[in-house]
């Protein structure tokens, strides 16, 4: 079955992997488990009392010094970025990540081990739509002290470009690009983390990287190395031989790509931006990114989405374009007649969504008796207009013909602004779940002037006439 990016996905079965944490040196067992639609990514510390759960959320990040650490409910989980990048890169939207230790295993320093177990478990489509957030304006993040610049721009897909420049003669200036997420597995996942030798020595002095190994990180030698320093590294990494290659990398480690460090920075961005909590469509360009900047950028994008999500799906109405259905078709489909025909035309129709138009005029039959002198369209009639619009979609999905739809339930109804003469109501109805046994659940929204006027969850029954 072809992968549908507009559907949510989870794992077919649970699967485990074990390894040592890079900084803590603690061995841990990690299990990826299937999860229901809308679950997202959540970590569970099964080694702690009450087995606390930590959501993958940028607002829960407490440390970004050597990886990304989340903390909630009295529990911490460190170095989350590589497993999150693998889940995003493999199209898994919902997953419970169980672990019996404080840090995700580093394995080889890349996302590849996690990609391999995800492939082994299998990825399955779920019966739920994946709601993308399409970035509609440039969002920037600057850090002058670290000379970091990041931007996300409107685009049809999720794309990432990274540029790195550490004033290192070994690294030089590198860039990496991911244009399509389907290329993550082959182009990005196998890129390993890297560290400069001077950073490595500082980490060793602070008793960090207890789980370090010359085979799970690219060590960049940016200064002359003495014999005593090499002896110390031999002891630390329990190796008989440690040496510096002429290219400036430690211990004969073969690079998987000439720009492997830049590709790993791209991997980190994908993992850290999974903490936004929303799948996004946009093009990211990141200059000199790091975990702290990635998380700050994720928080900025998340706040933008929260602020604008009510308007992100406002239908666009061009009265000059021909409608999908005009009033004559609607009259053939619905049994409603004047004064209860409340949909003038349909301007958008898919297998999950419909958008209709109701032009509100001063001559509506209900205005003389509803707030005379201060005409306001009754809220119940706005709901009725939504229901009629949804009825067209439901009947269309039932094969058309002689069907009617009847209300069963109205939930979460809110009226946010008044509808008055001269307003154009855009009536959007979206399926909340597939139609089963003639029961249709929909989310309805009335837009006026680009703002939400009314919203409600509606349930109706489709009944064949006669």
Catalytic annotation, residues: 291, 370
Residue 285 β-bridge partners: 151, 161
* Nearest-angstrom CA–CA distance, 113 and 291: 21
- Cβ 91 vs Cβ 67: under 8 Å: no
As a whole number of angstroms, the distance between CA 358 and CA 347 comes to: 11
- The first and second tokens of residue 190, run together, are 């196998």
Q: Give, in order, the Cα–Cα distances in Å from 188 to each of 9, 111, 264, 269, 393.
A: 21, 8, 7, 11, 42
33 strand-pairing partners: 96
Closest CA to 289 of 81, 53, 133: 81
Strands annotated E in 309-400: 345-349, 353-359
Q: Report yes or no: 71 and 103 within 8 Å, Cβ to Cβ.
A: no
Report the 10 Å Cβ neighbour count for 80. Answer: 25
| Cα(336)–Cα(331) distance, integer angstroms | 7
> Residue 291: enclosing H or E segment and its boundaries?
helix 291-308
Give the three-state DSSP class for 201.
helix
| CA distance readout (Å), 379 to 150, 344, 384, 415, 449 | 45, 18, 9, 7, 17
**Going along 80-224, which residue ranges are E strands?**
95-99, 123-129, 133-134, 139-143, 148-153, 158-165, 173-178, 194-196, 218-220
* Three-class DSSP category at 144: coil
Under DSSP, the state recorded for 255 is P
């Amino acid at each position: 079955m072809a992968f549908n990016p507009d559907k949510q996905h989870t794992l077919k079965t649970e699967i485990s992997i074990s390894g040592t944490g890079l900084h803590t040196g603690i061995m841990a067992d990690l299990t990826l488990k299937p999860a229901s639609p809308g679950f997202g990514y959540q970590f569970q510390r099964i080694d702690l009392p009450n087995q606390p759960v930590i959501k993958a959320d940028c607002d829960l990040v407490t440390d970004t010094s050597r990886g990304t650490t989340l903390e909630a409910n009295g529990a911490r989980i460190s170095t989350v970025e590589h497993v999150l990048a693998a889940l995003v890169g493999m199209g898994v939207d919902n997953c419970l990540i169980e672990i019996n230790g404080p840090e995700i295993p580093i394995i080889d320093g890349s996302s590849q081990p996690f990609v391999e177990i995800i492939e082994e478990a299998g990825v399955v489509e779920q019966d739920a739509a994946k709601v993308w957030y399409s970035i509609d304006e440039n969002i920037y993040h600057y850090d002058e002290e670290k000379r970091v610049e990041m931007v996300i721009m409107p685009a049809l897909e999720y794309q990432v470009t990274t540029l790195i420049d550490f004033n290192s003669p070994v690294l030089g200036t590198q860039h990496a690009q991911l244009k399509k997420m389907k290329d993550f597995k082959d182009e990005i996942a196998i890129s390993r983390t890297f560290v400069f030798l001077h950073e490595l020595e500082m980490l060793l002095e602070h008793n960090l990287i207890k789980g370090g190994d010359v085979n799970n990180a690219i060590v960049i030698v940016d200064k002359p190395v003495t014999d005593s320093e090499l002896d110390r590294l031999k002891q630390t990494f329990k190796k008989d031989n440690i040496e510096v290659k002429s290219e400036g990398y430690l211990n004969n480690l073969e690079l998987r790509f000439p720009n492997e460090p830049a590709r790993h920075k791209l991997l980190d961005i994908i993992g850290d931006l999974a903490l936004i909590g929303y799948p996004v469509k946009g093009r990211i360009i990141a200059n000199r990114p790091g975990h702290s900047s990635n998380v700050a950028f994720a928080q900025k994008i998340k706040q933008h989405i929260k602020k604008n999500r009510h308007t992100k799906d406002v239908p666009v109405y061009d009265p000059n374009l021909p409608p999908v259905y005009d009033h004559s078709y609607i009259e053939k489909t619905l049994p409603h007649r004047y004064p209860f025909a409340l949909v003038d035309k349909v301007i958008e129709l898919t297998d999950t969504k419909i958008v209709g138009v109701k032009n509100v005029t001063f001559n509506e039959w209900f205005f003389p008796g509803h707030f005379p002198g201060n005409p306001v369209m009754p809220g119940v009639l706005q709901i009725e207009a939504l229901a009629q619009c949804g009825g067209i979609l439901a009947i269309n999905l039932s094969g058309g013909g002689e069907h009617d739809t009847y209300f069963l339930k109205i939930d979460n109804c809110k009226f946010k602004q008044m509808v008055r003469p001269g307003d154009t109501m855009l009536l959007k109805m979206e399926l909340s779940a597939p139609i089963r046994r003639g029961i249709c659940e929909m989310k309805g929204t009335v837009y006026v002037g680009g703002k939400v006027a009314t919203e409600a969850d509606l349930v109706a029954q489709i009944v064949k006439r006669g």
